[in-house]
Structure 1
Amino acid sequence: MQTASTNICERMGRSQELIDSKRGLVIGCHLCNKSIRDISWLLNIPRSTVSGIITKWKQLGTTAIRQPSGRPHKMTERGQRMLKRTVRRSHQLFAESIAKDLQTSCGLQISTTTVCRELHGMGFYGRAAASNPYITKCNTKRWMPWCKA
């Protein structure tokens, strides 16, 4: 048998927003003198979320979700998937060639800076292997006298 707490963890992540109808149900239950704990159990929502909705309703008189501030992202999810596919296909490409490839395939007008920023966000970084110097027997004796070369 699952408890209410396990259902809450499975159903709602940290970044998800509640729809307006559920927010209205929370306020309706609050107006019917239900406790935060009861509302949380009835609607299968975390207590902190219920408390936050009620507090916001008391202070602002609304439960509407504010739009995120700032400029929207240039690349959509589809563009990000194509970028990841392009990089995984060939790791040796420069950012300029990746940007040109995306411009021809998707029709996106993005700069190389945007490509680099998105790649860093995905966890791709431009790393080159360290070059190992050619170590001769003479250099080995000079720099590592304990080594028998």
Structure 2
Amino acid sequence: MQTASTNICERMGRSQELSEFKRGTMIGCHLGNKSICEMSLLLNIPQSTVSGIITKWKQLGTTATQPPSGRPRKMTERGQRMLKHTVCRSRQLSAESIAKDLQTSCGLQISTARERIELHGMGFHG
């Protein structure tokens, strides 16, 4: 039997995504009139997670993970590293030449305005 402190420590922090089987088990328990507290104890999952999955199932009719909302980022982490490396290598380059260098080196096509925004976010000013 697990102690209360062990159980709390297991629950803290972000963990991996729940399997489809566990999600289906939650919906089956819900249809079998089990309470959220009972499902939480049975599956060793936080009550907020159980409640969220049941709410999603009621609203959307599915428990599958939905794609993130919003527009994807223009610059990836790799592109940001390349930009930082290019600027640190020679700080005297113009924004246009840096954009051309990024295009040829990693195929990343960004505007000079986006480049300046990214550099400002990295702490390069002026």
Q: TM-score range by the shorter chain?
A: 0.5 to 0.7
Contact 1:4 1:41 in 2 (8 A): no
Report deviation, 1:109. 1.4
Contact 2:56 2:63 in 1 (8 A): yes
User: Are 1:66 and 2:66 matched, yes or no?
Assistant: yes
Return the structure number with greater relative CO, CA threshold 8 A, min gap 6.
2
Deviation digits for residues 3-35 of structure 1, max 9, x if unmatched?
2222122443xxx75454443232233334443
Contact 1:7 1:44 in 2 (8 A): no
| Rounded Cα–Cα distance in structure 2 between residues aligned with 1:100 and 1:80 | 15
Contact 2:119 2:125 in 1 (8 A): no
| Rounded Cα–Cα distance in structure 2 between residues aligned with 1:47 and 1:82 | 43
Percent of matched pairs sharing the same residue: 68
Moved more, 31-40 or 84-93: 84-93
Deviation digits for residues 100-146 of structure 1, max 9, x if unmatched?
2211210111111222233344x42415xxxxxxxxxxxxxxxxxxx
Structure 1 runs, 4 residues or longer, greater than 6 Å off: none
SS in 2 for 1:68: coil
Task: Return the letter of the residue paired with 1:5.
Answer: I
Q: How many residues align?
A: 123
User: Are 1:6 and 2:9 matched, yes or no?
Assistant: yes
Deviation digits for residues 28-49 of structure 1, max 9, x if unmatched?
3333444323433444433212
Given the superposition, is the C-alpha separation of residues 105 and 47 from structure 1 closer, same or farther in structure 2, using an over 3 Å criterion? same
Which structure's residues are more often helix, by fraction? 2
TM-score, with structure 2 as normaliser: 0.68
5+ residue gaps, structure 1, are 128-149
| Rounded Cα–Cα distance in structure 2 between residues aligned with 1:93 and 1:47 | 55
2:49 maps to which residue? Answer: 49
> What is the RMSD of the two structures over their aligned residues, measured on CA atoms?
3.1
Contact 2:86 2:98 in 1 (8 A): yes
SS in 2 for 1:3: helix
Contact 2:95 2:115 in 1 (8 A): yes
Given the superposition, is the C-alpha separation of residues 20 and 95 from structure 1 closer, same or farther in structure 2, using an over 3 Å criterion? farther
2:103 maps to which residue? Answer: 103
1:28 maps to which residue? Answer: 28
